[in-house]
Amino acid sequence: MRKVIFDTDPGIDDAMALLFLKKAPDVEIVGVTSSFGNSTIDITTRNLLNLCEVFGIDAPVAKGVPGPLVGESGAPADHVHGEGGLGGVDLPLVPRKPLHDFSADAFIVDMIRRHPHQITIVAVARMTNLALALRRDPGIVPLVKEIIVMGGAFGFNGHSGNVTPVAEANISGDPLAADEVFGADWPVTIVGLDVTQEAVMPPEMIDRIGRHGGPEGQFIRDISQFYLRFHRDVESMEGMFTHDSSAVAYLMDPSLFTTRRGPVRVVCDGIAIGQTIQKPDKKKNTPPAWQGRPSLTVCIGVDTARLLKLYYETVTRP
């Protein structure tokens, strides 16, 4: 069993990814940590506690910080995820499940120290909690098994940004945190818009999940209706991008993706703030900004049909 910590800002696609992770064979969710992002930290934390109830996840939930390392958090993305962050679906304002005593970053450090070389972190929100864990205890770096993040965009397949023409939301919401996480010498894979915007889940598939996925599948179908409308109205497309679930798909089957290796920097100011730039290892000339930085794996292509099949078959498992 792989021990996984899921760092998340639910968020409709976060909820879909959490169910995917819960149903994944050979995965033990050992903790979930909340991040601000799609909504405020109080709302994403409440949503996360409620999602754990709905999906029957009994792992501890630790709350993250309210904003980025520097500056303010952006406004909630209610136009994407609906008021309350989960498509306007009614959930308890006071969740039954209690919060863990530790902050998210302290929890991450504690789990890595307790289970050296065993913890995989799937991070599908701002990288703030991870960066704070790294600042709190840099000694965790060689003890982490793997980090898989959803974020960034490198211009492959025509995908370069969703909050600006060059910046993706998770990175642009805390560029410094992302740059610090990508600068530490632990094994990081970046699953960005280059692949998540290639994998479009059709409305028909959401309906099938609702019909065949039991109460959890019905819940996914219900919260997804707002997300589908956003994609129809704003992106002019039928279906929705498979953002956070693509990071879980990488965990389950990396062969779904083609990748490129090289160090990654994040632009931390100016009009390109939040842009992710990789210096490919194949290019031997390394400009100063990328020197001394570890090589990361960046996903640049995806087998969409196989990914969607994996999602459907996993979340509809009894």
Part in contact with Ca ion (CB under 5 A); list of ranges 7-15, 203-211, 227-235, 300-308? 7-15
Pick the catalytic residue from 81, 159, 231, 243. 243
76 interacts with Ca ion by CB under 5 A: no
Known catalytic residue: 81? no
What's the min distance (Å) between Cβ of 22 and Ca ion? 16
14 interacts with Ca ion by CB under 5 A: yes
Report the C-alpha gap between 275 and 166 in whole angstroms. 5
Report the C-alpha gap between 14 and 83 in whole angstroms. 15
Q: Considering beta carbons, is residue 49 or 125 the nearer one to Ca ion?
A: 125
Of the residues 18, 108, 109, 125, which one makes contact with Ca ion according to CB under 5 A = 125
124 interacts with Ca ion by CB under 5 A: yes
Part in contact with Ca ion (CB under 5 A); list of ranges 91-99, 120-128, 195-203, 210-218? 120-128
Q: Considering beta carbons, is residue 125 or 188 the nearer one to Ca ion?
A: 125
Q: Considering beta carbons, is residue 38 or 295 the nearer one to Ca ion?
A: 38
Q: Considering beta carbons, is residue 143 or 200 the nearer one to Ca ion?
A: 200
Question: What backbone phi and psi angles, to 5 degrees, belong to 18?
Answer: -65, -40
Instruction: Show the site string, 221-260: x = touches Ca ion by CB under 5 A, - = not.
Output: -----------------------x----------------
168 interacts with Ca ion by CB under 5 A: no
The two tokens of residue 9 are 């800002």
Report the C-alpha gap between 208 and 226 in whole angstroms. 17
